[in-house]
Amino acid sequence: MNAINVNQARFNMIEQQIRPWDVLDHEVLALLSVVKREDFVPPAYKALAFADMEIPLAEGQSMLAPKIEARMLQDLAVEPSHRVLEIGSGSGYMAALLAHRAQRVLSFEIRPALADMARSNLQKAGIRNAEVRVGDGSKIPLAEGSFDIILVSGSLGQVPAHLLERLNVGGRLLAIVGNEPVMHATLVSKSSATGYHTRELWETVATRMEHFAEPSAFQF
């Protein structure tokens, strides 16, 4: 695609996919024009960079559809003072979006090949306040401290208590929770040292994150 076609495709993505999905935050919409999604898509899929679909990545992983990423960004309401933890770097695109709004982003990716890709993409995009580390997102070292925002870029059977404990008071965690065919984007806000408020926001389906515990089934 030439530059004119790319810009038209980006415009169409925002107007035809993302706005109709109730993403109306002007700052989020502007950011989707600034952060070039096509630069975070594997070369073989560049023609599909703006399509309403998940984009395949290495090792069976995928980028979430554009409207899902945009809605997550809007619902998290990231502020310039926020320290953000992302679990599941993928191609680095979501980390790039978060980095434009936050003070610092720390992103954990369990697959070294994807971590390398995300790191390279962020560097090429000139983003300096996002760091990608190879590591298991279900076991974030305590030395990393606490966060204002935690985003799980995939689905979980349940929201783990150990992640909620890493939130600062006033902080928010967003994850896609449940089982196919219906999962919900779930926002947990930390109101006090031990108080939490949970809201199911919208339905979607996403790839399962590895190594997170599943809810125990009842035995009869």
> In this structure, is residue 217 part of a structural domain?
no
Which residues, 6+ apart, have CB-to-CB distance to 107 below 8 Å? 85, 86, 87, 88, 89, 92, 95, 118, 130, 131, 132, 133
Nearest to 10 by CA among 93, 89, 66: 66
Nearest to 36 by CA among 149, 114, 126, 109: 126
- pLDDT over 90 (residue 65): yes
pLDDT value at position 219?
A: 46
> In this structure, is residue 214 part of a structural domain?
no
- pLDDT over 70 (residue 217): no
> In this structure, is residue 213 part of a structural domain?
no
Residues 85-102 have pLDDT tens digits of 999 999 999 999 999 999
pLDDT value at position 1?
A: 61
Nearest to 153 by CA among 79, 33, 54, 58: 54
* Helix ranges restricted to H, the chain: 3-12, 26-34, 66-76, 93-101, 112-124, 161-164
> In this structure, is residue 134 part of a structural domain?
yes
Residues 110-163 have pLDDT tens digits of 999 999 999 999 999 999 999 999 998 888 888 889 999 999 998 998 898 889
Give residue 11's domain range. Answer: 3-204
Average pLDDT of the residues in 159-188: 93
Residues 23-48 have pLDDT tens digits of 999 999 999 999 999 999 999 999 99
> In this structure, is residue 219 part of a structural domain?
no
What Cα–Cα distance (Å) separates residue 57 from each residue in 68, 174, 200? 17, 22, 28
> In this structure, is residue 174 part of a structural domain?
yes
- pTM as predicted: 0.93
In this prediction, residue 220 has a pLDDT band, given cuts at 50, 70 and 90, of: very low
Structure-block tokens of residue 31 = 């950011």
Count of domains forming the chain: 1
Nearest to 64 by CA among 151, 128, 161: 151
> In this structure, is residue 218 part of a structural domain?
no
Q: What is the CATH number of the domain that holds 74?
A: 3.40.50.150
> In this structure, is residue 216 part of a structural domain?
no
Name the 3-class secondary structure at 1. coil
Name the 3-class secondary structure at 182. strand
- pLDDT over 50 (residue 173): yes
Average pLDDT of the chain is 92
In this prediction, residue 59 has a pLDDT band, given cuts at 50, 70 and 90, of: confident
